[in-house]
Amino acid sequence: MNSSRPTVIVGVGFAGLFTALHLRYQQDLRSIVLIDPQERFIFKPMLYELLTSELSEDAVCPTYKELLQGSNVNFVQDKVVAIDLQEKRLKLASGSDYIYGYLVLTVGSIQGYLGTEGAQKNAFAFRTQENAIALESQLRKCLQRARQTDDETQRRSLLTFAIVGAGPTGVEMAATLADLLPNWYV
């Protein structure tokens, strides 16, 4: 094994980021390269705080450049399109190639809907900064329409929300909506 070849980590969520920082903390002398198509890390447990404006977008979704400052870990914003395991080579969407010594794949997960019929078609995903902005916009539209109607049935419908999933994000979202909606609906 050529120790001059970098450790390349593809996917920079919690697993990828903390793997890189752990390797650096362990004083691994190889260079470490993180590759992800996104510019920003999404701190998902705090994503709901964008709705409440308790935290800024930069606090919840800092750039990798900011997070990795001073760590001697390199970040490449690009997408891996091919992996050659024999040659230990990655091909990126930009046309660049990376030869690696070690490869770590931490490409994340996909949105799950727990088998809830209609959820994928009708629900808002809540995994990205864009998702949080879209949800906030939709909530404000519902509240505005609820304020403008005299029809109690329609108002109740506009102010009824369902959360699919009761993991940490779902629970935080439920608590946030319970706190937020009465304040927004004035």
Q: Name the CA radius of gyration of the chain, rounded.
A: 21
The confidence score (pLDDT) of residue 2 equals: 54
Q: Is the pLDDT of residue 39 over 70?
A: yes
Read off the pLDDT of each residue in 8-20 and give the average, rounded to a whole number: 96
Q: Which residue type sits at 144? A: Q
Query: Per the domain annotation, does 144 fall within a domain?
Result: yes
**53 confidence band (pLDDT: 50, 70, 90):** confident
pLDDT digits (tens, 9 = 90+) for 140-176: 899 899 989 999 999 989 988 888 888 888 888 898 8
The confidence score (pLDDT) of residue 80 equals: 98
Q: Are strands 7-10 and 32-36 parallel, antiparallel or unpaired?
A: parallel
Read off the pLDDT of each residue in 127-151 and give the average, rounded to a whole number: 91
**27 confidence band (pLDDT: 50, 70, 90):** confident
Mean pLDDT of the chain: 90
Backbone angles phi, psi at 134, to 5 degrees: -65, -40
Q: What is the distance between the alpha carbons of residues 177 and 161, in angstroms, rounded to a whole number?
A: 9
End of a domain among 81, 105, 129? 105
Query: Per the domain annotation, does 1 fall within a domain?
Result: no
pLDDT digits (tens, 9 = 90+) for 64-104: 999 999 999 999 999 999 999 999 999 999 999 999 999 99
Tell me the torsion sign for CA atoms 56, 168, 38, 118: negative
134 and 49 in a common domain? no
Yes or no: say if 12 and 134 are a contact pair by the CB < 8 Å rule.
Answer: no
Domain that holds residue 79: 7-105
- Residue 2: which residues within 8 A CB-CB, separation 6 or more? 101
Q: What is the distance between the alpha carbons of residues 69 and 61, in angstroms, rounded to a whole number?
A: 15
Query: Per the domain annotation, does 114 fall within a domain?
Result: no
**114 confidence band (pLDDT: 50, 70, 90):** confident
150 and 71 in a common domain? no
26 and 92 in a common domain? yes
For residue 166, give Cα distances in angstroms to 17, 72, 119, 169.
26, 38, 14, 7
